[in-house]
Amino acid sequence: MKTELILLRHGETEWNSQNRLQGHRDSPLNAEGQRQADALAARLASTAARAPFQALYCSDLGRAVETARRIASRTGHAVTQDARLRERGLGIMEGLTREEARERHPDVFAEYSAGAPDYVVPGGESTSQRLRHAVECLEELGARHAGARIVVVTHGGVLSLLFRHSLGIPTAAPRTFSVLNAGWNQFDYHDGAFRLVTWGDVTHLHADSRDDT
């Protein structure tokens, strides 16, 4: 039996609006991010009669937790946190804008930008490490909720990695797709594999959404 995984990116944060690298550090949802999270909650609540979901999971980072709690306040689900759904740890670059990271850590930023899967940012982790954690978690959830639909609130980097993983796109290939705040993405999990169904749906926002640049 397939499991429907509705994977949501958290709402916009203060650091998103400033183009700062967040990683494992955190920044609260700004006013727009709160509106976006409430729009996700309203969409999930309004579709519950014809497309109910069984469980609500999220990363343990504050921006994902706040988004999930706003959803739960409308749908009544308990929120289960899992650190394996975290954003990639970016170590010494966390809290810096991309311009600041390029200026202060030019070699690190160049390696990071090149996208080599096994490059570990000092104080952080590699994309292959983060993908392994996320896939392990989602496979467990897919098996646990076989035949059902679940909602997972996670991060742009995790979603980008899963998109590439499911379609066989190398990590180092230039990103030619958007990863939008509060975007609605569906993957079906069946026979140990992920199948992309919906990507980047933000119709519930009735407005533009910020890309994970």
Q: Which of 110, 109, 127 is closest to 118 using CA atoms?
A: 127
Q: Which of 10, 105, 145, 155 is catalytic?
A: 10
Determine whether 213 is exposed, middle or buried from the number of CB atoms within 10 Å of its CB (0-12, 13-18, 19+): exposed
Residue 171: what residue type? T
Q: Exactly one of 87, 105, 145, 204 is catalytic; which is it?
A: 87
Residue 164 Cα distances to 97, 109, 146, 213, angstroms: 25, 21, 23, 16
Looking at residue 8, the DSSP 8-state letter turns out to be E
Buried-exposed string 108-136: b where 16+ CB fall within 10 A, e elsewhere? bbeebeeeeeebebeebbbbeebbebbbe
Task: Give the DSSP per-residue string, 193-209.
Answer: EEEEEEEEE-TTTSS--
24 belongs to the catalytic site? no
Task: Examine the residue annotation and report whether 100 is marked as an active-site residue of this protein.
Answer: no
> Which residues belong to the active site?
10, 87
